[in-house]
A and B are shown apart, each in its own frame.
Chain A
Amino acid sequence: MILIKLAISSLYNRRASALLTLFTIAISVMLLLSIERVRVDAKSSFSNTISGTDLIVGARTGDIQLLLSSVFRIGHANNGVSWQSYQYIKQQRGVKWTIPLSLGDSHKGQAVLGTSDDYFTHYQYAKKQSLSFSQGQPFRHLNEVVLGTQVAENLGYSLGDSIVISHGMGNTSFHHHDDNPFTVVGILNATGTPVDKTLHIPLAAIEQIHATNHTEHEHEHEHEHEHEHEQPIDLIGEPKQITAFLIGFDSPLYTLQIRRNINQFKDEALLAIMPGVTLRELWEMLTIVEKILLMFSMVVVLVSLLGMLTTLLASLNQRRRELAILRSVGAKPWHLFALISIESLLTTFLGCLAGCGLFYLLMSLAAGYLQSHAGITITIAMLSGYELMLIGAIMAAGFIVGLIPATRAYFYSLSDGMSIKI
């Protein structure tokens, strides 16, 4: 149609200012989409951290603190669960499996987790996905370690390497250097969860690290065990206490009852949380940040649309003659109204299109960084229904903003007629 052609030629004629307008809209669309995508993916990465676990049990603290320390390796659990309590709860009716977790040690800043073999069979993340090995196998001996994919990647370890694990967080002690070399026997596949940043060693090895200071010979004793392949090696040992443990039940029906029992446990102050519920609580705490981010990007969109309004209105006065010429060749006032509306719609549309392009560019550039630094797995997929709705809303807002100059053009053309002489 002639109006579309006129709108395109007219915009092309004013391409410098039109491009700037388009660019600001594109940036705002990119920002909005990126924030939205990161928010959604952060949420799913977050709630994907653990699944299939019915209860997490630790010493009595806050729900969220226990979740953070046991699953996210954030903060310290000051107290642990005594081995006796663990053994007792483990034997309750309905308990299908338990995974003991012992945290607090580190290797070059990465968390070290002492656990049992069950970890590799029962621990699940995302939508009930189990851990899998990209190389190697679970630990079979006390001095073997299984690495999360990022530990292997960042520190450049591969199967067969010897590494030293120190007691405590962060500092490496020379004392342990020769005492506890661990051999890398397995590397896990990427999960997008804190598992990727964890070194897994047998629970008994944790005790060993802590004990070697005092009983050097015990280590030698263990060393001898290695050669006795016919005899199963106790990878769990009998530690005094563990940081926390995960429970899976035969049926989720046991969850509430056993949780109550644990929370009222007489011998020790314990806390049992349902990870799904606590994850949600934790996320709720973060929603304010999420809302502020969303609000900021909305404001950026608004500013860019106001920018378009300014340019359109500023140019309109210079275009009164153009409107008069169109009137003289028979254009009706609503033709001119449509012309300006088409221009604003076209600018917004192209702005949104460019914004989507920039968004995909940014996401593909940032995906690696977000994965390794924030543990957020960015899905570079088609725009979701919600994202399309956002773009639709921006287009609608652009159209509505465009109605203001369009209405002015309509009334200019009525009052000026064709007598405007500039």
Chain B
Amino acid sequence: MITLTDLVFKWQKQQSNPTLAIAALEIAKGEHVFLHGPSGCGKSTLLSLLAGINRPTSGCLSIFGCELSKLSNSKRDAFRADHIGYIFQNFNLLPYLSPIENVTLGCQFSKQRQKKALVNSMTLNQEAARLLNALGLSEQFHLQNVANLSIGQQQRVAAARAFIGSPELIIADEPTSALDTGNRQAFIKLLFEQAQAANSTLIFVSHDESLQPLFNRNIDLIALQEQLS
């Protein structure tokens, strides 16, 4: 469960208007949330807070019972490595690693993720292959040069990297903006399947409101912030 209470974030302390201000937000475990809002409304800022990159200026942010706002920088980095899978907009693979290596990268900085990944398979590579297959990337692509994959295939690899080791929270930051409509829906369905299988909470960020009906909950960030004022 994710709880935000009286959360305020300012880039500088002297800043008069907060970049982000949320009175209250609760997301239950296993929920698939669609978070939307126009550019510049604070989506990226909220994600950076949830991912533990930045610390709230004031207020409380707790994820699965952990007071993220009170942790030190390096503890938040460790928390992210252990509990959060992150999918970027596009081109988010390391070009010098194979798809399999890109996926296992998700476990390299966390012992916990590694342990959880090995529950399903004998080795990390096998688990990576299993996830890639589940996300619809067949074996023949697993060891190919990442640059030879299509955008859709790359995005599947990125998703597998986020899902490996079953993190409790998956944050997807506009992951479908580079895909066409058909691919977009298929990709989101695959995301849902995996999130359900791993019992992960999914926060999906996009400004494309046409995707909204696919989710069981949606949050308008503008509306959410207005509650405060």
Contact = CB atoms under 8 A, between A and B. Distances in A.
B86 A9 contact: no
Given A329-B105, A417-B48, A322 B54 contact: no
Contact of A329 (B86, B95, B173): B86
Contacts of A229: none
B89 interface: yes
A96 to B, nearest CB: 75
Interface stretch (B75-83, B133-141, B185-193): B75-83
B28 interface: no
Given A13-B96, A321-B92, A418-B88, A330 B53 contact: no
A325 B74 contact: no
B97 A9 contact: yes
B88 A335 contact: no
Contacts of A417: 48, 51, 53-54
Interface in B125-149: none
B60 to A, nearest CB: 21
Contacts of B73: 332
A329 B48 contact: no
Contacts of B54: 417
A342 to B, nearest CB: 14
Contacts of A325: 88, 92-94
A369 interface: no
A244 to B, nearest CB: 71
B163 to A, nearest CB: 12
A60 interface: no
B64 interface: no
Contacts of A12: 96
Contacts of A335: 109
Contacts of A329: 81, 86, 105-106, 108-109, 161
B77 A418 contact: no
A221 interface: no
B47 interface: yes
A238 B161 CA distance: 99
Residues of A contacting B: mostly: helix
B225 interface: no
Contacts of A332: 73-74, 77-78, 109
Contacts of B80: 328, 330
A418 B86 contact: yes
Interface string A42-84: 0000000000000000000000000000000000000000000
Contacts of A331: 77, 81, 109
A322 B86 contact: no
B88 A328 contact: yes
Contacts of A13: 95-96
A328 B96 contact: no
Given A9-B96, A328-B88, A419 B48 contact: yes
> Quick one: which of A322, A327, A330 has the most chain B CB within 10 A?
A330
Interface in A144-173: none
Given A2-B108, A12-B96, A419-B48, A321 B91 contact: yes
Contacts of B106: 329
A411 to B, nearest CB: 13
Contacts of B181: none
B5 interface: no
B56 to A, nearest CB: 14
A331 B109 CA distance: 6
A175 interface: no
Given A417-B48, A418-B51, A330 B81 contact: yes
Nearest to B95: A13
A347 to B, nearest CB: 15
A335 B109 CA distance: 10
A410 to B, nearest CB: 12
Contacts of A322: 94-95
B91 A419 contact: no
A324 B95 CA distance: 13
A422 B88 CA distance: 11
A85 interface: no
A421 interface: yes
B44 interface: yes
Interface in A198-244: none
A10 interface: yes
Nearest to A3: B108
B110 interface: yes
Give the one of B73, B95, B106, B173 with max A CB within 10 A: B95
Given A322-B95, A330-B77, A332-B78, 16 more contacts: A6-B94, A10-B94, A321-B92, A322-B94, A325-B88, A325-B93, A328-B86, A328-B92, A329-B105, A330-B81, A332-B109, A335-B109, A418-B51, A418-B173, A419-B47, A421-B89
Interface of A: 2, 6, 9-10, 12-13, 321-322, 324-333, 335, 417-419, 421-422
16 contacts: A10-B96, A12-B96, A321-B91, A321-B92, A325-B93, A325-B94, A326-B105, A329-B86, A329-B105, A330-B77, A330-B82, A330-B109, A332-B73, A417-B53, A418-B53, A418-B173
Pick the 6 closest A-B CB pairs, nearest first.
A330-B81, A13-B96, A330-B109, A417-B53, A328-B86, A2-B108
